[in-house]
Structure 1
Amino acid sequence: MIELTRLNGQPISVNCDLMRYAESTPDTTITLVTGEKLVVLESREDLTQRVKQYRASILHEAWPSAASAVSALQTFRASSTE
């Protein structure tokens, strides 16, 4: 879940897996897969960053060594192209 703020200033936790899309019209409006719409104070760009950070945290929790594995793979690929 990501933490967002309704237009009235009240915090809300949103399951980002249920988001269908987000629009800036000019307020950020999130449409869920259920058709429900949420209007929040955060910008669409901020919303996107929060979703990315949330998903990265889930992956990090599930696979803590991923960062070193990805780094090693990138080093291997870089050295094999030289």
Structure 2
Amino acid sequence: MISLTRLNGETFWFNPIYIEKIQCNPDTTITTIQGKSFVVKDDHEKVMKEMKRFYREVGLVRIVNKAGGENEK
């Protein structure tokens, strides 16, 4: 799980496996594979960094690399 912050300052935990896309316009909007959207205070770079950390922790590094992440071994 990754920690995110809603615009009202409330922190919540989210499973990044369900993230389909992240947009910056200018707020960071996360859309899930079910089509639900969340607008968060966190910038897209922080969200991506946390997603990559989570993927490494659960052993999904190859998926991150395939999606354009850093080369991890």
- TM-score of the two chains, using structure 1 as the length reference: 0.69
- TM-score of the two chains, using structure 2 as the length reference: 0.77
Unaligned runs of 5+ residues in structure 2 are 60-72
The aligned amino acid for 1:37 is: S
Measured on the aligned residues, the alpha-carbon RMSD in Å equals 0.9
Superimposed CA distance per residue, residues 29-80 of structure 1 (whole angstroms, 9 cap, x where no aligned partner): 0000111100001111110000001111222xxxxxxxxxx5xxxxxxxxxx
Q: Specify the structure having the higher radius of gyration (Cα).
A: 1
Q: For this pair of structures, how many residues does the alignment match?
A: 60
For 1:43, the equivalent position in structure 2 comes to: 43
Higher helix share: 1
Runs of 4+ in 1 over 6 A off after TM superposition: none
Q: CA deviation at 1:23?
A: 0.3
